[in-house]
């Protein structure tokens, strides 16, 4: 029996609730920016294209600091961002303007402003040193090690699930690891991964992409061996898949995106339930196709996730002032409530809302048994309601949930 790409049986119904056209890459950056990137009180960030949306809501928080900082960000792929911090080659530690050339799209830096807007800006000709490399994956996934005598810190941010997506008018609801292996590892394998048989309609990335690296481990296909067309970034995947309107192409199309991008495109794209090896059916990241509670991520049923990593060089354990303006926000045992809300509203999961954890890429899961918890606050922000008891202090809470965290009684604090 061929690996099924479709729904498998009723056993997970409560968990998922049923859960040749070549489209050119979208080149959003075509004109040379008229704005120069700032050079003072700025954090230069390079790496994952999937985290741009999240950084736009972090930037206003940095602007409220004293002194205020702004973020200048360039999407380069997770592993390129990691290399910018780990490499001994000075040329690989800077980011520069990348003008359009032939079929290559331009890639200018983005100034993320205090009001949440984003504008392209021009960097100095010699480039600027990257303060923070942001990655969807562990540095070891990118095959790098810290140089001798260099201290590098990994500040882990929120949990970011990765997903398979199809156009909304596709009939597909779920994909198994075996079917994904046949599609992305064997180009459809002569019909065994139907309906995903046309690799020109596989909207993928490349080996530098954290999204592709993580999903590669889930399906057993090396990230540099995928069939499909590299769309240049998460934005390219999203924009190009939205152009597919006819039913025939939509049925054959499939792409990969992080949930912070995919959740904002639910009217155009459908997240597929994923059936890992050993599971009897597929699970969505959320409890239903309509929820945004990340229930199946938080309890480990949906397996494709990992923390966002903020890498920076440190001296005596401390980052530079510029890097610290960003990364220190994630080092605190209790996140600022504004940052916590931003994480949830961008469809990511704060670590304090997770019930399971892992310490390696797609590694084994273990239960979270200590530390401050924020599951009640997560439910309130994500779902608009929570069954937890509100509180003004620990004296308001019962012995079964004795800690008052972010206004709700929790078990851990």
pLDDT tens, the chain, 413 aa long: 333 343 333 335 444 443 333 333 333 455 789 999 999 999 999 999 889 989 999 999 999 999 999 999 999 899 999 999 999 999 999 999 998 888 788 899 999 988 888 999 999 999 999 999 999 999 999 999 999 999 999 999 999 999 999 999 999 999 999 999 999 999 988 888 999 999 999 999 999 999 999 999 999 999 999 999 999 889 999 999 999 989 999 999 999 999 999 999 999 999 999 999 999 999 999 999 999 999 999 999 999 999 999 999 999 999 999 999 999 999 888 999 999 999 999 999 999 999 999 999 999 999 999 899 999 999 999 999 999 999 999 999 999 999 999 999 999 87
Specify the pairing of strand 356-357 against strand 366-367. Answer: antiparallel
Calculate the alpha carbon distances from 169 to 5, 266, 302 in Å: 16, 11, 24
Question: Which residues, in sequence order, are CB contacts of 26 under 8 Å at separation 6+?
Answer: 231, 232, 235, 236, 239, 240
**Residue-range domain boundaries for the chain:** 13-26+161-304, 42-157+306-336, 351-410
CB of 184 closer than 8 Å to CB of 228: yes
Query: Which of the listed CATH numbers 3.40.190.10, 3.90.1150.10, 3.30.1130.10, 3.30.70.260 matches domain 13-26+161-304?
Result: 3.40.190.10
Q: How far apart are CA 217 and CA 155, in angstroms?
A: 23
Beta bridge partners of 62: none
Q: How far is CA 310 from the centre of its chain?
A: 12
Question: Which residues, in sequence order, are CB contacts of 18 under 8 Å at separation 6+?
Answer: 7, 173, 289
Report field, pTM of the whole predicted structure over 0.85: yes
DSSP 146-166: PPTT-EEEEEEEEEEEEEEEE
Residues 403, 359, 277, 162, Cα dihedral to 10°: 80
* Fold matches, 13-26+161-304 and 42-157+306-336: yes
42-157+306-336, superfamily in CATH? Periplasmic binding protein-like II (3.40.190.10)
CB of 205 closer than 8 Å to CB of 231: yes
């Amino acid at each position: 029996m061929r690996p099924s790409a479709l729904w498998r049986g009723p056993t997970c119904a409560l968990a998922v609730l049923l859960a040749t056209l070549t489209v050119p890459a979208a080149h959003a950056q075509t004109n040379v920016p008229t704005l120069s990137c700032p050079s003072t009180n700025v954090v230069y960030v390079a790496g994952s294209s999937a985290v741009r949306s999240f950084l736009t809501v972090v930037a206003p928080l940095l602007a409220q600091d004293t002194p205020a900082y702004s973020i200048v960000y360039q999407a380069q792929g997770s592993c390129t961002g990691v290399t910018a911090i780990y490499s001994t080659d000075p040329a690989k530690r800077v980011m520069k303007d990348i003008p359009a050339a032939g079929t290559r799209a331009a890639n200018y830096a983005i100034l993320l402003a205090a009001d949440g807007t984003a504008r392209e800006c021009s960097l100095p000709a010699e480039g600027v040193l990257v303060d923070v490399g942001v990655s969807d994956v562990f540095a070891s996934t990118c095959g790098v090690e810290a140089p001798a005598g260099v201290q590098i810190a990994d500040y882990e941010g929120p949990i970011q699930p990765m997903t398979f997506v199809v156009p909304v008018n596709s009939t597909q609801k779920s994909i198994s690891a075996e079917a994904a292996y046949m599609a992305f590892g064997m180009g459809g394998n002569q019909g065994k991964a139907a309906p995903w048989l046309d690799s020109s309609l596989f909207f993928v990335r490349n080996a530098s992409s954290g999204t592709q690296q993580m999903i590669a481990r889930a399906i057993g296909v090396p990230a540099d061996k995928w069939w499909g067309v590299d769309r240049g970034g998460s934005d390219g995947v999203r924009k190009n898949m939205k152009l597919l309107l006819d039913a025939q192409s939509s049925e054959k199309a499939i792409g990969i995106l992080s949930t912070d991008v995919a959740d904002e495109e639910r009217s155009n794209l459908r997240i597929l339930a994923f059936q890992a090896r050993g599971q009897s059916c597929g699970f969505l990241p959320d409890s239903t196709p309509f929820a945004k509670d990340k229930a199946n991520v938080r309890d480990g049923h949906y397996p494709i996730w990992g923390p966002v990593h903020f890498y920076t060089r440190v001296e005596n354990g401390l980052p530079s002032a510029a890097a610290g303006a960003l990364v220190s926000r994630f080092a605190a045992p209790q996140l600022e409530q504004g940052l916590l809300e931003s994480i949830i509203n961008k469809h990511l999961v704060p670590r304090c809302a997770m019930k399971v954890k892992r310490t390696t890429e797609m590694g084994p899961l273990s239960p979270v048994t200590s530390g401050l918890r924020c599951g009640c606050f997560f439910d309130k922000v994500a779902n608009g309601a929570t069954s937890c008891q509100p509180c003004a202090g620990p004296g308001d809470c019962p012995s079964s949930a004795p800690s008052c965290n972010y206004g709700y009684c929790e078990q851990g604090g």
